[in-house]
Amino acid sequence: MSKSIGIFDSGHGGLDILQFLSQAHPDWKFHYVADLLVMPYGNKPLELIQKRCQEIIHWFEQRGCDAVVMACNTATAMAIDKMREEFSLPIIGIEPYLNYINKAPEKDFQNERLGALVTPNTFESQRFKSLLELRDPLQLVKVETIFELAPLVESLISNRDLPQFKERLLELLTPLKKYRWREVILGCTHYPLIGEFIEEVLEAKCISPTEYVAAQLENRLQWNRDQRSPTSSTTAAPTIKDQEFEYRNTLTEKWEYKKISDFLFWRYS
């Protein structure tokens, strides 16, 4: 049975999750909100982020959505508990996939040099601190914050200047090469959008939570994962169908139909 899913982020980071879900469930209908009016959430106060989440989830209720994905690590860390108290429909959040440590028992993370990239607000949130204590009590993961990275992705989407983007990305990530990470957990939904470029600079494999968020959504909707259509990894440029979805950003305040290639052009070149 077809489902109607609302997905939102402070910008376009949630498109990675939308892309994965639209490949796995081509009969589902998707509504996406980019909160460009206050993007990024990574340095905004708690009260503002909670207010924005309330308004956007209310829009999804009006569109008749069966579930909502808060496709933003910062929004999840700062607002998801309150949103679940206020709304009856299923709300799925996203967090840095620190449980990767437990999901890959064959690896010796004492020697694997594992890193994580998160926003400043995520890093300072109590939810993230609790997650670190729960999933990484031995402090095996080196966590770094880069505020400018999410806005840089948004500038790539709006300006479509890939060479300029790569030049600035190299400047931002080069200081992290000293850690010689073998793998890096991507703790902001904007980061998997450029996972292939991050891997190129850091020479490390990117770990994205996208598929695990999809699984959580399917579980909440009591959907059998065996019914998925085949999908590709979304941290590298996939061969994908350019599915249409309903889109709204908080600058224009109108719903319109868009395709993923309208934003993530580098995945379709």
3-state secondary structure the chain: CCCEEEEEECCCCCHHHHHHHHHHCCCCEEEEEECCCCCCHHHCCHHHHHHHHHHHHHHHHHCCCCEEEECCHHHHHHHHHHHHHHCCCCEECCCCCCCHHHHCCCCCCCCCCEEEEECHHHHHCHHHHHHHHHHCCCCCEEEEECCCHHHHHHHHHHHCCHHHHHHHHHHHHHHHHHHCCCEEEEECCCHHHHHHHHHHHHCCEEECCHHHHHHHHHHHCCCCHHHCCCCCCCCCCCCCCCCEEEEEECCCCCCEEEEHHHCCHHHCC
Tracing tokens 């959040």 back to the chain, one arrives at 93
CB 93 within 8 A of CB 76: yes
> What values do phi and psi take at 201, rounded to 5?
-75, -50
In whole angstroms, give the CA distance from residue 33 to residue 15. Answer: 10
Query: Catalytic site residues?
Result: 72, 188
CA-wise closest residue to 33 among 262, 269, 245, 267: 245
